[in-house]
Amino acid sequence: MSISKFFKAAGIMVLLVALACIYTGYANASADEGKKIFAGKKCGDCHKTEGPAAEKTFEDKLKKKGPDLWFAGSKFKKEWLGEWMENPQAIRPLEYNSIEKTNPGNHPKLAKKEAGDVADYLMTLTSKDVQTGAVQEGQSNIQGKLAFEKKVSCFSCHKYKKLDKVVGGLTGPSLADAGKRLQGDWIYAYLKNPKAFIPVKRMPVYENIINDGEMKGISQYVTTFK
Ligand code: HEC
Ligand code: HEC
């Protein structure tokens, strides 16, 4: 390499590193701002942002006003989070903690900039119980599909799209757009050890019903739902 080429390459490297630093600084500032917005809008009245989960009994669960967000950064996809907080749509077909009332879909809204900042903040809340890189996202998985549809009938409680139609039960959150919303690694961690995230649950524990490969396969399959 000639000297001038070397200096050109070095210059580009310095520029890239500087841009990366500016970007990281920007994301941190935005997460700090998001944390302030979250507190100011009293989102914490309904959402827990510090783990571990606190509920021990069904009564504790029924007292909760909204799902925990202390593992939001491991559970959700950032782009979806920002878009949803700006324009929230019902995720659970039934009202939170109810088994009979329809979800009114009246979640508080944030302006675009606020939603982006809060998404940056929520993405900093991760759980050590989620192993990253365990699930290959977005690729169809036949073993997972069979388990989801036949062996354990996940769709008896969860909506999903089949032949372009949304079908499935009402008890659990809709999985119809789960591939845009959820991280495959979190789905797998949740299936393996649901109590780490939701200790008092209405979803069955699948530990001795499906094996590890099937759990990974199902998680991969669910990330294809868009
Ligand atoms: C009165 C209680 C209440 C308040 C206040 C509230 N939320 Fe929620 N939040 C809920 C409920 C209930 C859900 C479930 C909605 C659904 O399933 O459609 C939810 C869902 C969410 C979700 C998706 C989580 C999941 O597991 O599905 C996020 C993210 C969220 N809220 C962020 C916020 C932010 C940010 C604020 C403040 C601007 C806020 N919430 C204020 C009750 C509340
Ligand atoms: C008996 C009903 C039922 C069955 C069957 C069931 N689930 Fe669930 N699932 C739930 C409920 C209820 C929740 C909400 C958490 C809670 O309250 O326990 C949930 C939560 C989830 C979530 C988190 C969704 C979110 O947005 O928070 C995923 C992912 C999930 N289930 C996947 C599955 C898969 C995969 C299967 C099949 C292996 C399955 N579920 C079978 C009831 C069920």
User: Would you say 222 and 175 are in contact if contact means Cβ atoms under 8 Å apart?
Assistant: yes
How confident is the model over 137-154, as a mean pLDDT? 94
Residue 104 identity (one-letter amino acid):
P
Ligand 1 center to residue 40 CA distance, Å?
A: 15
pLDDT tens digits for range 93-137: 999 999 899 999 999 999 999 999 999 999 999 999 999 999 999
Candidate of 94, 107, 158, 188 to mutate for ligand 2, largest count of ligand atoms within 8 Å of Cβ: 158
Of the candidates 184, 186, 169, which has an alpha carbon nearest to the alpha carbon of residue 217?
184
- Report d(CA 154, CA 221) in Å as an integer: 12
Residue 103 Cα: closest atom of ligand 1: 18
Name the residue with higher pLDDT: 79 or 25.
Answer: 79
- Report d(CA 20, CA 28) in Å as an integer: 12
Tell me if 203 CB under 6 Å of ligand 2: yes
Beta-carbon-side half-sphere exposure of residue 196 (alpha carbons within 13 Å): 17
Is 90 exceeded by the pLDDT of residue 3? no
How confident is the model over 63-86, as a mean pLDDT? 98
Candidate of 64, 157, 171 to mutate for ligand 2, largest count of ligand atoms within 8 Å of Cβ: 157
pLDDT for 5 equals: 79
Task: For residue 77, give the ligand nearest its CA.
Answer: 1
pLDDT tens digits for range 5-57: 767 877 777 777 666 656 666 678 999 999 999 999 999 999 999 999 999 99
pLDDT for 21 equals: 59
For the record, the structure tokens of 162 come out as 């089949």
Tell me if 171 CB under 6 Å of ligand 2: yes
Task: For residue 144, give the ligand nearest its CA.
Answer: 2
Comparing 12-26, 157-171, 206-220, the range with the smallest average pLDDT is 12-26
Ligand 2 center to residue 108 CA distance, Å?
A: 24
Tell me if 145 CB under 6 Å of ligand 1: no
For the record, the structure tokens of 21 come out as 């630093």
Residue 205 identity (one-letter amino acid):
V
Of the candidates 176, 37, 44, which has an alpha carbon nearest to the alpha carbon of residue 119?
37
pLDDT for 64 equals: 95
Ligand 2 center to residue 45 CA distance, Å?
A: 24
* CA-based torsion, 83, 85, 87, 93: positive or negative: positive
- Report d(CA 22, CA 123) in Å as an integer: 19
pLDDT tens digits for range 167-188: 999 999 999 999 999 999 999 9
- Report d(CA 162, CA 20) in Å as an integer: 42
